[in-house]
Amino acid sequence: MALVPRVFLPAEQIQNRVREMGRQISLDYPQGPIYLVAILKGAFMFLADLSRNITTPSRIEFMGISSYGRGKTSSGEVKVTKDLDVSIEGQHVLVVEDIVDSGVTLTYLINVLEQRKPKSLRIATLLDKPERRQRDVEVAYVGFQIPDEFVVGYGLDFDEDHRHLRDICVLVEEGLGLGTRG
Ligand code: IMP
Ligand code: MG
């Protein structure tokens, strides 16, 4: 049976929440630049929308981290696959992540970034699955807390598929899906 995406969080709701998050971040950081460090690939769409809703001057940087192999389960192993091109010493850094699940990826990343002596270091995630947490990680900005469901779309993938969808979706067996407007 093929798995098809069914809408879980519609695009409008995501856009409204991301606008609010941008407003809050702009208030919390009156002074720029904020280094928005997005984690590839899942955070690319959230970064694009969040950054456009932050009025404080910002800079866009990317890091690649792999913790998951193929599929839905973590390999448990974390490594930096693409590092920053710039120094973040003395800078305000906001890590932009798609989803915090076990917390293993971010715990590792925060350790790596702390050693580079940023002026401040916080995390903004679109989604948070608190039920799945294995590592205690402090997340300053959360878009939505969601139950333990595997979601795709708005940057998130299942084996590299579905990242382009405007909505965040769950995967259901074909015939049960309501379709999307991706
Ligand atoms: P963590 O280290 O377990 O917190 O894993 C975080 C990473 O796992 C995220 O950046 C995603 O790439 C991936 N991930 C976790 N849950 C999901 C999901 O429901 N859909 C798609 N990717 C997920
Ligand atoms: Mg992934």
What's the pLDDT tens digit per position in 31-43? 999 999 999 999 9
Query: What ligand is nearest to the CA atom of residue 154?
Result: 1
Catalytic-residue membership of 85: no
77 pLDDT band, cuts 50/70/90, is confident
Which tens digit of pLDDT belongs to each residue from 121-154? 999 999 999 999 999 999 999 999 999 999 999 9
Distances in Å between the Cα of 14 and the Cα atoms of 105, 125, 139, 165 are 23, 12, 18, 12
Indicate the top mutation candidate among 68, 78, 137, 171 to test ligand 1's pocket, ranked by most ligand atoms within 8 A of CB.
Answer: 68
CB-based burial label for 148 (10 Å; 0-12, 13-18, 19+): exposed
Of the chain, the percentage scoring pLDDT greater than 70 comes to 91
User: What's the pLDDT tens digit per position in 87-123?
Assistant: 999 999 999 999 999 999 999 999 999 999 999 999 9
Whether the per-residue pLDDT at 8 is higher than 80: the answer is: yes
Instruction: Give the number of the atom of ligand 1 that is nearest the alpha carbon of residue 78.
Output: 2
127 three-state secondary structure: strand
3-state secondary structure of 107: helix
Residue 118 CA to residue 121 CA, distance in Å, equals: 6
The structural domains of the chain, ordered by start, are: 11-147 (3.40.50.2020)
H/E stretch holding 126: strand 120-128
Q: The tokens of 89 are what?
A: 């010493």
d(CA 182, CA 174): 17
